[in-house]
Chains A and B, each alone.
Chain A
Amino acid sequence: MLSRVASSIFWLNRYIERAENYARFIEVNLNLSLDLPRGTAEQWEPLVATTGDHEAFIARYGKATKETVIQFLATDAANPNSILSCLASARENARSVREIISTDTWEQVNRFHLQVRDSVARGLSTQNLHTFLTDVKANSHLFLGITDATMSHGEGWHFARLGRLLERADKTSRILDVKYFMLLPTVAEVGTPFDIIQWSALLKSASALEMYCKQHGRIAPNPVAEFLILNPNFPRAIRYCLIKAEDSLHAIAGSESDRHNNLAGKRLGRLRSDMDYIDMAEILSGGLHEFFDSFQFKLNRTDDAIYETFFALRPVDRVMTKEKIQ
């Protein structure tokens, strides 16, 4: 597969996943703000912090209000990570690899992009915002389903899954980082209905509420964090994402399941095994925020290695070439 093509498939899937996560972030905060006790200020700034674009936001908007934050995250064409921009970028990437992805996949990206663009052009209001966010999630799921069902599960598909799951691991860690800090209850609030509502909201943002309840029943801060970080079976948990991303890297590189033959695999394998052997007590003793900081640093280094290993357009390696000539 052409390096340029692999890169486009990878980014196509990252952008769609990012758009879906932003929709989740906004939706949960909206729901949460409806349940707030009277007199409590709505919390919109942490949402911007979650995305890592805090500085750009402050420079352009100044104060974080519901309106400005939603505009920034959903409809702002000048924010390269807004839902609108993500879809535009996803479509451009898809357009550059139309011949590789299936026609059905292309048409879904194209339709998705047109719907978001039209909704933004018509304007988002309190009445239609919820529908908009639900549609973004549903369209992303449809994209994923069509990709799975119509594209051969070969190299291209593995690059798609790699992009999607690394993006998802990143976003799950970010929202946990911010929310955990923000939601840590004062002694007086522990176990109050409001406390439970907030933790439920966090789970909902990852569509994890029902799955969590089946496993743990009671909602409490540490089991929630554990579920979203270390669960090996829940598809939005960080550990799950890393396991499957590593599987895809093995498939791409053709390496044995217990060793890696390239830098990207080595870094990702190490990150995944960290998650295999660490437990909640150890995470908490070092500080949850520090844990996420270090996780994101390592994840970025893995991204860099993927770029270097597979996507960078280097002068062609002569030795390698000769071997390939038949």
Chain B
Amino acid sequence: MKFSQYDPGQFYDELYEGTGQPRPGSRLLLRKFASLPEGELRKRQQAAERVILNMGMTFGVYGSDDGHEQIFPFDIVPRIVEPSDWAHIESGLRQRLRALNLFIDDVYHEQKILKDGVIPGELVYSSKGFLKACCGLKPPRGIWCHIAGIDLVRIGDGRYYVLEDNMRCPSGVAYVLEARQVMKRTFPELFGAYRVRPVDDYPSHLLDTLRYLSDLPDPTVVILTPGMFNSAYYEHSLLAQKMGVELVEANDLAVIDGYVHMRTTKGSQRVDVIYRRINDDYLDPLAFRPDSMLGVPGLMEAYQKGHVALANAPGTGVSDDKAIYAYVPKIINYYLAEEPILPNVPTYLCSERQDRAYVLEHLDQLVVKATNEAGGYGMLIGPHASKQERDEYAKRIEADPRNYIAQPTLALSRVPTLVDDHLEGRHVDLRPYVLYGREIFVLPGGMTRVALRKGSLVVNSSQGGGNKDTWVLS
């Protein structure tokens, strides 16, 4: 295979700066690839897939048959991030998480930012993530979002942009940890030659973050999962295992005399911190969804009294609403008096009359997203959609404009990806993970999602996306 003929095309390529010309950090990797005998890369890819299969590394897809579970598609060519790029990303993420936490706290207390007219109050109140029940709430340590995953993209100019904030229950970090294990088995020799920053200590940072929320010297921490049919169940169990904490379902918990307990073979045991991986709606039927059988009755009351800590706090969804997203640069400016280090992607709010008119006229060039959806659901990629799909989508926008935003179709950067026995460029994004405890910790790495289909821009695992390891060099 001729690595010297790889053509990055018109896109920003993460490993090549020109045809056959590796970027400085990638030279060693590509020299290694070139030195392998014919067919060896293919063999290692297959070996990696076997490892993944035996590890039972899976994700669930809603609406699919065959017991929901699918093996995670993985590509063995890593994405490489230079130290200087990472320093820039890291400072941008810290800034963003600090500002968004101040924003959430303000929105549920004094609402200064609304009174000062920086964000229209209507936009906040109409957000599905805004929970009245959280007004006046004082979460432990004053932190609302402890665990965030912030989606970044890099486009033709080589700059990183924030595409989306995930401030509720961001998933995917298990794939970061497992991808690294797979890569260590696949290319042990490269880890000797490169200085890749480790990611294996994420669970211990996460545990510290969670324990910090309790005043007890040795708090009992649990992870609350919707159960094994949830698409991210694999991650819930992996994190519980690596942190050595119990993985509980709502049925395992009960509130007794104002405190949360779990049911064990030896009676009940008090729980002090809950890393919940279920949505706000399903936390407590008494507080949010009287019609729901799910959740732990009385949990919110225990939380409000300070008898148990929740991470993330309920109500953080207001800050990752895709319409609020458009205001994040202003939010950063308002609370921190700083310019955003990582810029936003230009965004049109369909709730604004002028923006909406522009969006409806240019549907064939834009990507339109529902403001409250995640995982690539409810998204229209204009240039790839048929006229009929666009017309139908236009009706949905007109019926409920608040629920939609649009962005230009971005020329996402690419990473060489193994196709049969050669490399082809495939589009990627990057989701780093940020923890907010005693201080802010940014995991050096993250989930590089790759659109495995040629030309595709959709990287979500539920829609034909795969995964790559992300090597942050030191």
Show the binding face of A for B, using Cβ within 8 Å: 1-6, 92, 95-100, 103, 106-107, 110-111, 114, 155, 252, 310, 313, 315-318, 320-326
Contact B228 A96, beta carbon cutoff 8 Å: yes
SS of A interface (majority): helix
Complex formed: what's the CA distance from A99 to B243 in Å?
A: 9
Contact A318 B256, beta carbon cutoff 8 Å: yes
B386 at the interface (CB under 8 A from A): no
- Binary per-residue interface labels of chain B (268-307) against chain A in the complex, 1 for a CB within 8 Å, 0 otherwise: 1110000000000000000000000000000000000000
How many Cβ-Cβ contacts under 8 Å join chain A to chain B?
Answer: 83
B181 to chain A, nearest CB (A): 10
Which residues from A are CB-within-8-Å of B64?
A: none
Q: Which of B28-36, B184-192, B259-267, B427-435 contacts A (4 or more CB under 8 A)?
A: B259-267
Give B141-200 interface residues, CB cut-off 8 Å to A.
none
Which residues from B are CB-within-8-Å of A6?
A: 265
For the complex of A and B, the 6 pairs showing the least CB-CB separation, nearest first, are: A99-B240, A99-B241, A110-B56, A98-B237, A320-B267, A99-B237
Contact B263 A316, beta carbon cutoff 8 Å: yes
Contact A2 B56, beta carbon cutoff 8 Å: no
Given A2-B252, A4-B252, A316-B256, CB of A95 within 8 Å of CB of B264: no
Complex formed: what's the CA distance from A114 to B265 in Å?
A: 32
Which residue of B is nearest A108, CB measured? B54
Which residues from A are CB-within-8-Å of B249?
A: 4
Contact of A324 among B55, B237, B241, B269 (CB under 8 A): B269
The 21 sampled A-B contact pairs (Cβ below 8 Å) are A1-B264, A1-B265, A1-B266, A2-B262, A2-B264, A95-B56, A96-B237, A98-B237, A98-B238, A99-B241, A99-B245, A100-B241, A110-B54, A316-B267, A318-B256, A318-B257, A321-B267, A322-B257, A323-B267, A324-B269, A326-B270
B442 at the interface (CB under 8 A from A): no
Which residues from A are CB-within-8-Å of B269?
A: 324
Which residues from B are CB-within-8-Å of A323?
A: 267
Complex formed: what's the CA distance from A154 to B443 in Å?
A: 34
Contact B259 A313, beta carbon cutoff 8 Å: no
Which residues from A are CB-within-8-Å of B247?
A: 99
Contact A324 B267, beta carbon cutoff 8 Å: yes
Given A106-B56, A325-B259, CB of A317 within 8 Å of CB of B267: yes
Which residues from A are CB-within-8-Å of B267?
A: 316-317, 320-321, 323-324
Contact of B265 among A107, A252, A317, A321 (CB under 8 A): A252
Contact A320 B238, beta carbon cutoff 8 Å: no
Contact B228 A95, beta carbon cutoff 8 Å: yes
Contact B241 A103, beta carbon cutoff 8 Å: yes
Which residues from A are CB-within-8-Å of B268?
A: 316-317, 320-321, 324
Given A96-B228, A98-B237, A317-B268, CB of A4 within 8 Å of CB of B53: no
A186 to chain B, nearest CB (A): 51
Contact of B256 among A3, A99, A103, A321 (CB under 8 A): A321
Complex formed: what's the CA distance from A1 to B264 in Å?
A: 5
B248 at the interface (CB under 8 A from A): yes
Complex formed: what's the CA distance from A106 to B241 in Å?
A: 12
B251 at the interface (CB under 8 A from A): yes
Complex formed: what's the CA distance from A321 to B247 in Å?
A: 20
Which residues from A are CB-within-8-Å of B245?
A: 99
B331 at the interface (CB under 8 A from A): no
Which residue of A is nearest B254, CB measured? A316
Contact A2 B263, beta carbon cutoff 8 Å: yes
Which residues from A are CB-within-8-Å of B106?
A: none
Contact A313 B263, beta carbon cutoff 8 Å: yes
Contact B261 A316, beta carbon cutoff 8 Å: yes
B364 at the interface (CB under 8 A from A): no
Which residues from B are CB-within-8-Å of A317?
A: 267-268
B271 to chain A, nearest CB (A): 11
Complex formed: what's the CA distance from A283 to B275 in Å?
A: 57
A117 to chain B, nearest CB (A): 11
Given A6-B265, A316-B261, A325-B270, CB of A114 within 8 Å of CB of B53: yes
Contact A321 B261, beta carbon cutoff 8 Å: yes
Which residues from B are CB-within-8-Å of A316?
A: 254, 256, 261, 263, 267-268
Which residue of B is nearest A314, CB measured? B263
Which residue of B is nearest A113, CB measured? B56
B263 to chain A, nearest CB (A): 5
Contact of B241 among A3, A92, A98, A107 (CB under 8 A): A98
Contact A107 B261, beta carbon cutoff 8 Å: no
Which residue of A is nearest B251, CB measured? A313
Complex formed: what's the CA distance from A321 to B228 in Å?
A: 28
Contact A111 B270, beta carbon cutoff 8 Å: no
Given A2-B246, A95-B233, A103-B241, output 17 extra A-B contacts at Cβ < 8 Å. Answer: A2-B262, A4-B249, A4-B263, A95-B56, A95-B237, A96-B237, A98-B241, A99-B240, A111-B54, A310-B265, A316-B268, A320-B268, A321-B261, A324-B267, A324-B270, A325-B259, A325-B270
Complex formed: what's the CA distance from A323 to B268 in Å?
A: 10
Complex formed: what's the CA distance from A286 to B298 in Å?
A: 58
Which residue of B is nearest A320, CB measured? B267
Which residues from A are CB-within-8-Å of B228?
A: 92, 95-96
Which residues from A are CB-within-8-Å of B265?
A: 1-3, 6, 155, 252, 310
Complex formed: what's the CA distance from A111 to B53 in Å?
A: 8
